Amino acid sequence: MDDLIQISKINDFIFCPYSLYVHAIYEGFSQDVYHDTPQRVGKIRHENIEEGRYSNSKRYVQGLAVYSEKYGLVGKIDIYDCEKKALIERKYKIKKIYDGQKYQLWAQYLAMREAGYEVDKLSIHSLSDNKRYQIELPGEEGEKIFNDLINSMRNFEIAKEKVVVNPEKCKKCIYWELCGEAKC
């Protein structure tokens, strides 16, 4: 499938579709050009998952690549607890759960389920304060909302669609200095 969507891009798209466009331009550059401190810290903290150092217990699957044929998604999970049948997404610091984070976890869940894994629980774990936030399973209505979101991502054309720019959100964007829309 030529139009696979990276699961990690779901949160970015919801934050601002322009950020995906700007990110695509700078992907070939060193991340030092566009990453700020929170992204650098998050990447360092995430290395434990990437390198399988979260735990050596067999009950944990770490950094598993996942694919959903149904939704055309590809990505990696952070942790799957085989005993609790729980999928856990780790973030450095969570102050509030945003829809993009929830939908990113739903994407992982749907891909895991499609691959035959039983997943009964979803959570986002905040590393900085060691808090875990439970996320509801999508259910039938949630899957419809998710499907509509993926279709919106797949059909989005930056040249044709006007995105409502939120100046407060823009100030928190790592692409603030690079994005022409943010300066409007």
pLDDT computed for residue 136 by the predictor? 97
* Tokens representing residue 49 in the block: 């998952």
Whole-number Å distance between alpha carbons of 23 and 30: 12
**What pLDDT digit, counting tens, does each position of 45-56 carry?**
555 555 555 556
Label residue 130 exposed, middle or buried (CB < 10 Å: 0-12, 13-18, 19+). Answer: exposed
For the cut 70, the answer to whether the pLDDT of residue 35 exceeds it is no
For the cut 50, the answer to whether the pLDDT of residue 184 exceeds it is no
Phi, psi of 79 (to 5 degrees): -140, 135
pLDDT computed for residue 54 by the predictor? 56
Domain extents for the chain? 5-183
101 confidence band (pLDDT: 50, 70, 90): very high
Question: Which ranges of the chain does DSSP label H, i.e. alpha helix?
Answer: 8-15, 17-26, 37-50, 99-114, 139-155, 167-171
Q: Average pLDDT of the chain? A: 83
* Residues 149, 130 contacting (CB under 8 angstroms): no
pLDDT computed for residue 45 by the predictor? 53
Topology of domain 5-183, CATH: Lambda Exonuclease; Chain A (3.90.320)
